[in-house]
Structure 1
């Protein structure tokens, strides 16, 4: 072709390709990207929620036992009791709670749903018995306890939280199966009236802190059910109005509200507990004064082993200890949200969301009160504070979350692919039958093909 350059062979010369932009650095060549890649793979594994719930729940409970022993020694000695008195009671409750956790973890979902109505009926009956003279016991001005004999007491309102979660989840799941949740009356009735009945029984005894937790559970269930904004705002407005009336008509609650952000006990030491909780946290520093070396627990800080155990934790373990506790609760909350978001079973979604709302809201209210950011509501730190009545239903709820996390399709497949490291091979006879390298490699190849998330 005239005017066009020719090569020696008579063919047109090959055009050079345009300069391409530099390829991104592979994750294995950059240590930061490699670490991020590994963390993301580990975070996306199907058993992540299972490990987080099991590990965080166990660590919170064990650390709580240690802090109960440390924070309650002085109180026990002041009451002429052995120094380990409260710790032994809490340890016994933890053993019973561990049995409840394992039972809840092994139960099928159908049995959980079958237990919803009996647990609700039992909780209502016990909360009614609380108000019967001679049966109910008043503690710190609140008539919310039943004496079981000796030094053992039970607080039925703590079991009302579990009852509302299971019964509300079963109710909403059945209505969703019948496609009734698109109508506002089916979304509210009978869930809201039953919740208000429980709230009324609790408020008769004067325990507003537990009532706030039940209200949070109710809102969590309505939000998971897809309540429209107007309906949600309407129920919230009614709850806020009732709460305002209850606070305004109670001098004790008004005094607690006035102690928000207080740095001085004030006249009559009205803000004594709130201020000394801040003192305990402030004196802890970065790593604390050491386990057992708290000064505030020597009679200065009321309820050091129950509602304000987080303050003693900050004084003895410092900022590092308190941040560790916050991280464990954050991991537990994230895992619960993940379980509720990934399941296809409506009951599991509502129950997991209700339990997560319950534990997270209670932890936020307790820690917020200790930090002076919220009024003192008198609620314990879940799995951490002293109190068997609060520990038992909470550990059963943790067992629910573990059961739901194990029941996810990906988690179920990952658990099924697991093989014991020691013991006899399947189908082998004889006392010693080890797995051959060929069969182990074959299983690993099958596992790698079956799993897209990298679970091992």
Structure 2
């Protein structure tokens, strides 16, 4: 009598493509998936940003200050300020974000108006965007993005609860005038890139709240017409657009920065020239540490490095939209979608300009480019997404089962917190 075991009992069963796909989907369906995706993508992009700011600014800073670490030290300071802000935002209740909406909108409008006052506003590259505060410069248009997200989400959430979103007037008033004030103030400072991001947030809020199709198409057409007018009225924008559309006709050098960015990407090949070994930053590529830092990533880390960056922003977009889809509170859903649209569209516009598929608008790559005015509101917005991720179904129970985090465990070990 044979005692041989059946084949399925003699060797472990190998998982096929279906089982592997099911396992991946199972991981993505966990309650804390959004939380960990936002947290992980944020820290990886921040770390990459610090490394690339150092690499991209080394040559210029040695020439200007004698130290290669000047911008890195400033960026590290902004990170040291922004991370506690993100941590605090991740622990705030939803009602606190709603309470911040109107004061932040008012402060942003006042600060944007101050930028336009002669003697207060600082201009560079054809745009007036900054207020000088001693050795630092504040760009009020960056917190204005967060203000529009919070105020628009709070406004529409209140109207949705009252059932007042069936007609165009309750839907657009006062959302359209409020957003229009911010857009107008930014436009007067000749900042087209930030104008595009603010208009994107406005359209994202309308889309998520369920605006009628005709109304949404009409608003999208109005946005397109406004952007076209902004391009036509400024000669240098028309030069950028015509240079982008017909590069062979660019005799004024307006495409110089974009051309050097493409050269940097092309010279990186598959795996790059190596960290710190890029040549574009040797006075060939202007603003390498800000608007065109993605080109330095491509040159020194190659196609693989750029795909990693794209993948991280893709995961961040997935996590933000997952939060917006799974939460039940209208304000949380709208704010999560608005913040995600802001960060992802800004990344798309920046990367699209670097690789040559979009005109150059001069907006930074979130979390990676140098600049504290953009970094701190971005980190607070990501902290808000973390707070919202805790409100997904089953997330609080999963966090409670996980136990205290490493910070609380360290404080407990030191005797500074209750066990």
Verify same fold: TM over 0.5: yes
Q: Shift of residue 103 of structure 1?
A: 1.1
Query: After superposition, what is the alpha-carbon deviation per residue over 1:100-136, rounded to whole angstroms, capped at 9, x for unaligned?
Result: 1011101110111001111111111111111112211
Calculate the TM-score normalised by the size of structure 2: 0.91
Query: Structure 2: how far apart are the matches of 1:50 and 1:246?
Result: 39
Q: What's the C-alpha RMSD, in Å, of the aligned pairs?
A: 1.7
Other-structure match for 1:138: 123
Other-structure match for 2:294: 310
Instruction: Note if contact 1:49-1:339 (Cα within 8 Å) is conserved in structure 2.
Output: yes
Instruction: Note if contact 2:269-2:299 (Cα within 8 Å) is conserved in structure 1.
Output: yes
Look up the SS of the partner of 2:324 in the other structure: helix
Which of 198, 217, 221 pairs up with 1:214? Answer: 198
Instruction: Note if contact 2:34-2:322 (Cα within 8 Å) is conserved in structure 1.
Output: yes
Query: After superposition, what is the alpha-carbon deviation per residue over 1:202-223, rounded to whole angstroms, capped at 9, x for unaligned?
Result: 0111001100000000000000
Which of 365, 377, 391 pairs up with 2:349? Answer: 365
Moved more, 345-354 or 39-48: 39-48
Query: After superposition, what is the alpha-carbon deviation per residue over 1:397-437, rounded to whole angstroms, capped at 9, x for unaligned?
Result: 00000110012121112112224699xxxxxxxx9xxxxxx
Which of 35, 40, 47 pairs up with 1:62? Answer: 47
Change (3 A) 1:261 1:116: same
Q: Shift of residue 266 of structure 1?
A: 3.7
Other-structure match for 2:9: none
Which of 145, 168, 171 pairs up with 1:161? Answer: 145
Which of 118, 122, 129 pairs up with 2:107? Answer: 122
Contiguous gaps of at least 5 residues in structure 1: 1-26, 423-430, 432-456
Q: Shift of residue 37 of structure 1?
A: 2.3
Greater helix share, structure number:
2
Calculate the TM-score normalised by the size of structure 1: 0.84
Moved more, 298-307 or 179-188: 179-188
Other-structure match for 1:105: 90
Which of 270, 276, 280 pairs up with 2:264? Answer: 280
Query: Structure 2: how far apart are the matches of 1:383 and 1:356?
Result: 14
Matched, 1:78 2:63: yes
Change (3 A) 1:204 1:349: same
Look up the SS of the partner of 2:132 in the other structure: strand
Query: Structure 1: how far apart are the matches of 2:261 and 2:220?
Result: 31
Instruction: Note if contact 1:342-1:408 (Cα within 8 Å) is conserved in structure 2.
Output: yes
Matched, 1:51 2:40: no
Query: Structure 1: how far apart are the matches of 2:21 and 2:147?
Result: 41
Matched, 1:414 2:416: no
Look up the SS of the partner of 1:268 in the other structure: coil
Query: Structure 2: how far apart are the matches of 1:183 and 1:421?
Result: 47
Q: How does 1:150-299 map to 2 (within 5 A)?
A: 150=135, 152-260=136-244, 266-299=250-283
Matched, 1:321 2:305: yes
Instruction: Note if contact 1:264-1:275 (Cα within 8 Å) is conserved in structure 2.
Output: no
Query: Structure 1: how far apart are the matches of 2:241 and 2:112?
Result: 27
Q: Shift of residue 34 of structure 1?
A: 3.0
Provide the aligned length of Structure 1 versus Structure 2.
Answer: 396
Matched, 1:32 2:17: yes
Q: Shift of residue 313 of structure 1?
A: 0.4
Look up the SS of the partner of 1:153 in the other structure: strand
Q: Shift of residue 336 of structure 1?
A: 0.2
Q: Shift of residue 255 of structure 1?
A: 1.4
Contiguous gaps of at least 5 residues in structure 2: 1-11, 407-414
Other-structure match for 2:134: 149
Q: Shift of residue 264 of structure 1?
A: 6.5
Change (3 A) 1:261 1:77: farther
Look up the SS of the partner of 1:267 in the other structure: coil
Which of 386, 396, 418 pairs up with 1:402? Answer: 386
Look up the SS of the partner of 1:260 in the other structure: helix
Larger Rg: 1
Other-structure match for 1:449: none
Query: Structure 1: how far apart are the matches of 2:81 and 2:329?
Result: 29
Q: Shift of residue 268 of structure 1?
A: 2.9
Change (3 A) 1:98 1:294: same
Q: How does 1:413-432 map to 2 (within 5 A)?
A: 413-419=397-403
Matched, 1:90 2:75: yes
